[in-house]
Amino acid sequence: MSVTSSTTNAQSETMSAWVGEGGQARLVRCPRPEARPGEVVIRVLAAGVNRADLLQVAGHYPPPAGASEVLGLEVAGEVVQGAGSFKPGDAVMALLAGGGYAEYVAVDAGSVLPLPQGISVEQGAAIPEAFVTAYQCLCHLGQLAAGQRVLLHAGASGVGTAAIQLARHLGAEVWVTVGSEAKLEACRALGATGGVNHRQGDFAQALPPVDLIVDPVGGDYLGRNLKLLKPDGQLIQLAMMGGRRAEVDLALVLAKRLTVRGSTLRSQPKAVKAALVQGLWQRFGAAFEGGEIAPVVDSAYAFESVAEAHRRMADNANTGKLVLKLAQ
């Protein structure tokens, strides 16, 4: 991407955007995106903040080939160039491979959803990445069913708060691990049966056996996860915040017929992401429209305050999602 200093005079064909350079987020001016066939161009009114953005700034998580170098994996806003069923003026939200921390973004129409009635743009920007990720782990991969028991590590995160609601809507029993008593109470308020403050105890000793675990931590959680799974249980490994390496007791895996699966979303082909986005909405869209499921927004920041939002996420201080607001 060709970028210039943010102090350059704005031109109609350029826009402000945030990129990660040298370990820092930097505000630049860059060309407005042009729609390719099948793409929608959205004027961004709010953008969700994700831990992947911090990793990209640090140089550890580059965008997939062909994706925008601009930070940001989800937005809500107004269509300015339509495609598919979307026309200019429509209020929408979208899942992205990159490009969300900007005034405009172009995205495949299959990854765009209508903004539900009664949902603000800030809330809308908190839906696509978190809820599609949760849907992929629970439904597409985990095949979670009513009456089963699921453990969600980092239960108070954006993905965690989304997954609690989806799992409860499916009729599953939800347990969580979190980093504070306040976060545990917030998870209970969303429908979790209970959980463990990982700073005060070993979850593997305190929780009942479960059918499915969704884990963004990794590291030494792996062995404890395997012990906690029921026979034929599944572990969906979502990230590796706690480290990328761990020892595995293969005898335990064999004896209980366990399944360990990795899950990624950003690098999936457009068709796969579109299927997940549309699958989420076909199964849970009515619950969003009816207010039974809603994103948890921890706090919203001005577009210029990316560093402040990133610090809050790096400190694990948030319960739910962090959002950037653009001038409306």
Using the predicted structure, report yes or no on whether residue 4 has a pLDDT greater than 80: no
Last residue of some domain: 262, 296, 313? Answer: 262
Residue-by-residue DSSP string for 160-209: HHHHHHHHHHTT-EEEEEESSHHHHHHHHHHT--EEEETTTS-HHHHSPP
Give yes or no: residues 61 and 122 share one domain. yes
Give yes or no: residues 239 and 168 share one domain. yes
Q: What is the CATH number of the domain that holds 151?
A: 3.40.50.720
Tokens (6 digits) for 16: 């402000």
Q: Angle at the Cα of 241 (from 123 to 23), degrees rounded to 5? A: 80
Give yes or no: residues 232 and 148 share one domain. yes
Give yes or no: residues 196 and 223 share one domain. yes
* Domains held by the chain: number: 2
Cβ within 8 Å of residue 200, ≥6 positions away? none
Q: What is the pLDDT of residues 6-49, one digit of tens each?
A: 333 334 599 999 999 889 999 999 999 999 999 999 999 999 99
Give yes or no: residues 137 and 29 share one domain. no
- At 328, the pLDDT band (50, 70, 90 cuts) reads low
- At 2, the pLDDT band (50, 70, 90 cuts) reads very low
Which amino acid is it at 270? K
Q: What is the dihedral of CA 98, 99, 101, 106, to 10 degrees?
A: -130
Q: What is the CATH number of the domain that holds 13?
A: 3.90.180.10
Give yes or no: residues 154 and 177 share one domain. yes
Give yes or no: residues 81 and 15 share one domain. yes
303 vs 306: CA distance, rounded Å: 6
Across the range 269-279, mean pLDDT stands at 97
Last residue of some domain: 262, 286, 316? Answer: 262
Last residue of some domain: 222, 242, 262? Answer: 262
Q: Which pLDDT score, from 0 to 100, does residue 11 have?
A: 41
Q: Which domain holds residue 293?
A: 4-127+266-325
Q: Which pLDDT score, from 0 to 100, does residue 1 have?
A: 44
The DSSP bridge pattern shows strands 321-325 and 149-152 to be unpaired
289 vs 113: CA distance, rounded Å: 12
Q: Which pLDDT score, from 0 to 100, does residue 150 have?
A: 98
Across the range 231-256, mean pLDDT stands at 94
Distances, alpha carbon 156 to alpha carbons 184, 220, 311, in Å? 7, 20, 17
Give yes or no: residues 212 and 285 share one domain. no
Q: What is the pLDDT of residues 84-102, one digit of tens each?
A: 999 999 999 999 999 999 9
Across the range 150-159, mean pLDDT stands at 97
Give yes or no: residues 16 and 75 share one domain. yes
More reliable by pLDDT, 310 or 22? 310
Give yes or no: residues 120 and 28 share one domain. yes
Give yes or no: residues 147 and 161 share one domain. yes
The 3-state DSSP class for residue 21 equals strand
Using the predicted structure, report yes or no on whether residue 3 has a pLDDT greater than 70: no
Find the radius of gyration of the CA atoms of the chain.
20
Q: Which pLDDT score, from 0 to 100, does residue 288 have?
A: 96
pTM of the model: 0.93
Q: What is the pLDDT of residues 253-270, one digit of tens each?
A: 999 999 999 999 999 999
Tally of CB atoms within 10 A around 9: 7
Give yes or no: residues 219 and 276 share one domain. no
Indicate the average pLDDT of the chain.
94
